[in-house]
Amino acid sequence: GDSVTQMEGPVTLSEEAFLTINCTYTATGYPSLFWYVQYPGEGLQLLLKATKADDKGSNKGFEATYRKETTSFHLEKGSVQVSDSAVYFCALASGGSYIPTFGRGTSLIVHP
Partner 1 sequence: DAGVIQSPRHEVTEMGQEVTLRCKPISGHDYLFWYRQTMMRGLELLIYFNNNVPIDDSGMPEDRFSAKMPNASFSTLKIQPSEPRDSAVYFCASSLQQTEAFFGQGTRLTVV
**Closer CB to partner 1, 8 or 15, in the complex:** 8
Applying CB under 8 A, among 22, 58, 63, 100 the residue interacting with partner 1 is: 100
Q: Is residue 104 near partner 1 by the rule CB under 8 A?
A: yes
Alpha-carbon gap, residue 67 to 78, rounded angstroms? 19
- Measured from the CB atom, is 20 or 59 closer to partner 1? 59
The DSSP annotation for 61-83 comes to TEEEE-BTTTTB--EEESS--GG
Closer residue to partner 1 in complex, CB, 78/95: 95
Measured from the CB atom, is 13 or 37 closer to partner 1? 37
SS3 57: strand
Q: How far apart are CA 81 and CA 60, in angstroms?
A: 11
Task: Please state, in angstroms and rounded to a whole number, the distance separating the CA atoms of residues 110 and 15.
Answer: 6
Name the minimum Å distance from CB 102 to partner 1. 5
Angstrom distance (rounded) from CA 43 to CA 98: 20
Which residue in 46, 60, 61, 81 binds partner 1 (CB under 8 A)?
A: 46
Alpha carbon distance 59, 47 (integer Å): 6
Indicate whether 112 belongs to the interface with partner 1 (CB under 8 A). Answer: no
Interacting residues toward partner 1 by CB under 8 A: 32, 34, 36, 42-46, 49, 89, 91, 93, 95, 98-100, 102, 104-105
